Amino acid sequence: MSKNIKVVLDTNVWISGLVFGGKPEAILKLFIDGQIIVIISEEIMTELRRIIIDKFPLFKPRLSLLEASIRNDTILVQLGDQRIAVSRDSDDNKIIETAVTGKVNYIITGDDDLLILKIFGNIDIIKPAAFLDIYKQDKRL
Give the chain's domains with CATH numbers. 6-140 (3.40.50.1010)
Is the pLDDT confidence value at 112 over 70? yes
What's the rounded Cα separation, in Å, for the pair 25 and 12?
11
pTM, 2 dp: 0.91
Distances (CA, A) of 128 to 17, 53, 84: 10, 24, 23
The predicted structure's pLDDT at residue 4: 80
Confidence band of 79 (pLDDT split at 50, 70, 90): confident
78 phi and psi angles, rounded to 5 deg? -95, 125
